[in-house]
Amino acid sequence: MRLDSEVYRPDQSTDLHGQSKKGGRIFFGTDHSGFALEMHQTVLGPGVASHPPHKHVHDELMVVLDGTLETYVEGKTEIAEKGAIILYASNQMHRVRNPGNVPARYYVIEFRGQSAS
Ligand SMILES: [Zn+2]
């Protein structure tokens, strides 16, 4: 689907209703050149990791909206506070974890390109 101009209004709530994490896709589509882009939002509970470290061909960008994330890339960890932006380059092992005691909310933009997987 070709992306069109749009204002998206994701749920801003960090209430996990007893779950360890929640999230959802905001959009997925292609730009003018056929390049695929995906955006989603995730909320992680205290101490929760997004998933075990993984890697993929596409580059990935995260924007921290609430709370704090601990980012892991290729064996190194770093704290990313509210307002910070994390870029994961192609094929680097990475994951995020919430090291705090309140929920962490962040946006993810995946530059999927021609291989939409
Ligand atoms: Zn990833």
**Successive 10-residue mean pLDDT values, the chain, 117 residues:** 96 96 97 96 97 95 98 96 98 97 98 75
**Per-residue DSSP letters for 59-96?**
EEEEEEEES-EEEEETTEEEEE-TT-EEEE-TT--EEE
Instruction: List the CATH code of the domain at 21-113.
Output: 2.60.120.10
What pLDDT is attached to residue 114? Answer: 84
User: Rounded to two decimals, what is the model's pTM?
Assistant: 0.94
d(CA 114, CA 53): 24
- CA 55 to ligand 1 centroid distance, Å: 6
Query: Are 26 and 3 a contacting pair, CB within 8 Å?
Result: no
What pLDDT is attached to residue 97? Answer: 98
- CA 96 to ligand 1 centroid distance, Å: 9
What pLDDT is attached to residue 115? Answer: 62
What pLDDT is attached to residue 93? Answer: 97
- CA 62 to ligand 1 centroid distance, Å: 10
